[in-house]
Amino acid sequence: MKKILPFFLLVLLLASCQKDPDMSKLSDDFVVFTDHNKDANFESFTTFYIPDSVMVIGNSEKPEFWSATEADDIVSTLVSGMEGRGYTRASDKESADLGLQVSFVKNVNYFTNYHDNPYWWWGYPGYNWWYGYWGNWTGAWNGWYYPYPVVYSYSVGSLLVELVNLKAPLPKSTDAKLPVLWTAYMTGLLSGSDKVNIELSTRAIEQAFVQSPYLKK
């Protein structure tokens, strides 16, 4: 036992001194999927609004959010991406043309392949918070819809970014929904380092803009 103990302590010491992985070797860890409404005229929009939080899709009935430390880099990267495409960040959602919402899939693994049916995350615990955030502030909307099919494999540790049209024509029916114009889904192997995971996420967001040249003022 005395011979094993020093070796065990050495293993712990090496593990505690291990550096974060080289980011250049993790560049392919996140796969990025994007899709958009082919009928959307992105040049017609000027302003956008984004909350300063990232919502966590988990098992809680109440919405959970990443802390400011975890969310800041992701929100900042999205803001930079939108401003780089010619859009101006609005100080409040009521005056914005577009709304950006960011969700983190914490502990669920579903496959989504719907065209006319509701998407699985619509009714998932916590996600309904978005309805009240965007859909009801005008007093006329009831959530939102995708005018294009979404076929993604959503898994644990994924980021979901959705761009909502806040200036859609006022609805005539009581069940009308705000249209989602653009979706970016990012997934990949997570490391044991929060720093590395955030870096991978921001790189994936930057890639989402790269592969969405239509998203510009």
Residue 36 sits at φ, ψ, to 5 deg, of -155, 165
- Quick one: pLDDT band at residue 6, thresholds 50, 70, 90? very low
pTM of the shown model? 0.71
Q: Which domains does the chain have, with CATH numbers?
A: 24-210 (3.30.160.670)
Q: pLDDT tens, 52-106? A: 888 777 666 666 777 667 789 999 999 999 999 999 999 988 889 998 988 887 6
- 98-116 pLDDT per residue, tens: 989 888 876 654 444 444 4
The strand ranges marked E within 10-86 are 30-36, 47-49, 55-57, 64-65
Query: Rounded CA gap, 41 and 37, in Å?
Result: 9
d(CA 100, CA 92): 12
Backbone angles phi, psi at 210, to 5 degrees: -60, -45
Q: Which pLDDT band, with edges at 50, 70 and 90, does 7 fall under?
A: very low
Question: Model confidence over 133-182: pLDDT tens digits?
Answer: 555 444 444 454 555 455 445 556 788 898 988 888 765 655 566 788 99
